[in-house]
Amino acid sequence: MTWNNGNIKPSLLLNATFEPIGVISWRKAIILTFLGKAEVISAYHQAIHSISQTIKLPAVLRLTRYVKYRRQDVKFTRRNIYIRDKYRCQYCGKVFEPKDLTYDHVIPRSRGGKTTWSNVVTCCHTCNLKKGDRTPKDAGMTLLNQPREPRWHPMIHFSLDAQQIPDPWLDYLIWHPAYNPPETSFGIDND
Ligand SMILES: [Zn+2]
């Protein structure tokens, strides 16, 4: 088989319920289709050619039978906090490069604030300095969003970032919290 284009995109795999459950390679996508385990919902313009046939590459596939899977918790890391907050300082609202960001305990640790999803937010260095060891109220600062534990889909979350998400996937991801720029992890304790 040969390619008509070197830029190979993966396929989005949906459960029988249309819920995205993962990102798979084109090879796996085609195998699942041939085995009758999945149907192609949407295809790319790209195709592979064998001697006897041309197959458009699946962009979105849906499993023919419902598969149970376990939703994983998103790992609590510095980088995942940035991702949850879309690299936006939760006080001044500006977007920064990771190197210009830090994280802030909303309720300071000195006042019993915990290092958890619901008490840690993305913060720029300026706002971090300004807030110091105070609550947002005491510092006269307002949070953009109330922090909470994110619900990303694990496989999608760890596979692509937002700019790389193929168009045909958007219909299936837009309502899904997985539609977020992802990254791998940096430990909050060890970076
Ligand atoms: Zn800021």
Q: Cβ contacts of residue 30 below 8 Å, gap of 6+? A: 48, 55, 57, 58
Asked if 157 and 68 sit in the same domain, the reply is: yes
Between the CA of 110 and the centroid of ligand 1 the distance, in Å, is 21
190 found inside a domain? no
Between the CA of 124 and the centroid of ligand 1 the distance, in Å, is 4
pLDDT given for residue 185 in this prediction: 34
pLDDT given for residue 137 in this prediction: 95
Between the CA of 170 and the centroid of ligand 1 the distance, in Å, is 31
What's the structural domain count of the chain?
A: 2
Write the CA distances from 31 to 2, 16, 37, integer angstroms: 16, 17, 9
The Cα 71–Cα 143 span in angstroms is 29
Between the CA of 158 and the centroid of ligand 1 the distance, in Å, is 27
Between the CA of 148 and the centroid of ligand 1 the distance, in Å, is 19
Asked if 68 and 155 sit in the same domain, the reply is: yes
Asked if 63 and 87 sit in the same domain, the reply is: no
pLDDT given for residue 154 in this prediction: 43
Asked if 156 and 112 sit in the same domain, the reply is: no
Between the CA of 24 and the centroid of ligand 1 the distance, in Å, is 38
Could you say which of 139, 163, 185 is where a domain stops?
139
pLDDT tens-digit profile, the chain (191 residues): 344 445 678 899 898 988 888 888 889 999 999 999 999 999 999 888 888 888 899 999 999 999 876 666 677 888 888 888 888 999 999 999 989 999 999 999 999 999 999 999 999 999 999 999 999 999 999 999 999 887 655 445 444 555 567 788 877 765 444 444 343 333 333 33
Between the CA of 188 and the centroid of ligand 1 the distance, in Å, is 19
The Cα 15–Cα 18 span in angstroms is 5
Write the CATH number for 117: 1.10.30.50
pLDDT given for residue 67 in this prediction: 85
163 found inside a domain? yes
Contact (Cβ atoms closer than 8 angstroms) between residue 61 and residue 39: yes
pLDDT given for residue 151 in this prediction: 66
7 found inside a domain? yes
Write the CA distances from 15 to 40, 72, 109, 110, integer angstroms: 12, 16, 42, 46
Q: Which residue range(s) make up the domain with 38?
A: 1-73+151-177
188 found inside a domain? no
186 found inside a domain? no
110 found inside a domain? yes
167 found inside a domain? yes
Asked if 1 and 52 sit in the same domain, the reply is: yes
pLDDT given for residue 70 in this prediction: 64
User: What are the residues facing 43 on neighbouring strands?
Assistant: 58
Asked if 68 and 160 sit in the same domain, the reply is: yes
Asked if 134 and 155 sit in the same domain, the reply is: no
Between the CA of 191 and the centroid of ligand 1 the distance, in Å, is 21
Side-chain-facing half-sphere of 64: CA atoms under 13 Å: 10
pLDDT given for residue 17 in this prediction: 85
Between the CA of 126 and the centroid of ligand 1 the distance, in Å, is 6
144 found inside a domain? no
The Cα 20–Cα 40 span in angstroms is 14
Asked if 86 and 64 sit in the same domain, the reply is: no
Within 10 angstroms of residue 106's Cβ, the number of other Cβ atoms is 20
Asked if 132 and 87 sit in the same domain, the reply is: yes
Asked if 1 and 63 sit in the same domain, the reply is: yes
Asked if 37 and 61 sit in the same domain, the reply is: yes
Between the CA of 113 and the centroid of ligand 1 the distance, in Å, is 20
Between the CA of 179 and the centroid of ligand 1 the distance, in Å, is 24
